[in-house]
Amino acid sequence: MNLSEDLWQITKLVKQRYGRTKDDYQKELAWLAYQSMKLVREDPSIENAEEFFDTEQDFLFHPNTRRNTVSYSERVLEAVKSNNYNYDSRPNINYAGNEKNTPDLGYVYVARSDTKPNQIKIGYTTMKLEKRMQTYKTRYGYSINITVYAFVDLPHKFEIELHRALAELRVSGLERNDSNEWFYGDEELVVDWIKYIAIRDNLSIFRNSWDD
């Protein structure tokens, strides 16, 4: 009988690995993997587990990473797919609404697809944008092109607030295995909301596509 994976314990181990990493670029990859694992811990969906897998693989294949380094993401992805995970080491604390449990840095973005005319996808990611487009095609079977992005703190909060603000524009009737992050609208509308949310909630936009 296979034991279920403890998502809180794995998050702790991934964080410790980040703390031990010295090389600057390797450390950035370890940080992105840790942020992705935190998201799996809070929302153990297959899409989030696949994102953690991709970001950890970037770290594992870095030249300075030892070849015998444990791949936690393979275990996590299998656990999420089989619904075989737990939170046994989770502290007895109510974290509801605690933004510190969301990834600290990442991208909020707008994407389009030739398969969905007049629609835009509003999402966020802690991985590189090129990698996000690749993983999306693998997950859903069609391509997206990211047209607008901003590198921000608390990207998940930006996504939540954007989805809330544009809820009436969300596309309904999507297929069951499709992403539910599609909206009617355009990039200019989303950019205006990103700027507004940053000012209203005192969040930082470190760089973006519209000022580049």
Q: What is the pLDDT of residues 112-121, one digit of tens each?
A: 999 999 999 9
Q: What is the pLDDT of residues 3-39, one digit of tens each?
A: 688 888 899 899 888 888 888 888 888 888 998 898 8
pLDDT band at 211 (very low <50, low <70, confident <90, very high): confident
pLDDT reading at 61 higher than 80: yes
Indicate the domain borders of the chain. 5-86, 102-208
CB 121 within 8 A of CB 111: yes
pLDDT band at 88 (very low <50, low <70, confident <90, very high): low
Q: What is the pLDDT of residues 125-155, one digit of tens each?
A: 988 899 899 989 988 899 999 999 999 988 8
pLDDT of residue 93: 37
Helical H segments across the chain, by residue range: 7-20, 24-42, 46-60, 72-81, 129-140, 155-165, 187-200
CA distance 93 to 101: 12
